[in-house]
């Protein structure tokens, strides 16, 4: 059973940065494809970024060149570095792990507002 705990969310102004962390426990973290999703009020949950077990990455067009996903398997942690944040990035951000089954964290709120 994988347990995922996100941290690092908060309130920032447009143009600022945040780094989200997702700590996993319970299994061999390295075999999981990891991803960050987000859900804004009234909208569907959407994929933000994904990182494979080999370290290959994919991003939503809306965050390319601003966000970076990375993983440290020795710490069982995946990160999302978010730069040049915009008000439209405001959402609850969820960590996701997939290997035979799908697991979700509880989410962390990111609010971008002046």
Percent of the chain with pLDDT over 70: 100
Could you give the CA distance from residue 48 to residue 4 in angstroms, rounded to a whole number? 17
pLDDT of residue 1: 78
Tokens of 33: 């494809």
Binning pLDDT at 50, 70 and 90, where does residue 28 land?
A: confident
Binning pLDDT at 50, 70 and 90, where does residue 26 land?
A: confident
51-106 confidence digits (pLDDT tens): 999 999 999 999 999 999 999 999 999 999 999 999 999 999 999 999 989 999 99
pLDDT of residue 76: 94
Could you give the CA distance from residue 54 to residue 30 in angstroms, rounded to a whole number? 9
pLDDT of residue 59: 98
DSSP state of 62: T
Does 14 score more than 90 pLDDT?
yes
DSSP state of 14: T
2 close to 103: Cβ distance less than 8 angstroms = yes
Burial of residue 54, with CB atoms counted within 10 A of its CB: 0-12 exposed, 13-18 middle, 19 or more buried: exposed
109 close to 92: Cβ distance less than 8 angstroms = yes
């Amino acid at each position: 059973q994988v347990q995922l705990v996100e941290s690092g969310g908060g309130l920032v102004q447009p143009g600022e940065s945040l780094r989200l962390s997702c700590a996993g426990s319970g299994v061999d973290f390295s075999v999981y494809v990891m991803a960050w999703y987000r859900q804004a009020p009234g909208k569907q949950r959407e994929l933000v970024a994904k990182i494979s077990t080999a370290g290959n990455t994919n991003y939503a067009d809306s965050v390319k060149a601003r966000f970076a996903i990375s993983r440290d398997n020795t710490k069982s942690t995946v990160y999302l570095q978010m730069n040049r944040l915009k008000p439209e990035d405001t959402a609850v951000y969820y960590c996701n792990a997939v290997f035979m089954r799908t697991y979700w964290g509880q989410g962390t709120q990111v609010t971008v507002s002046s």
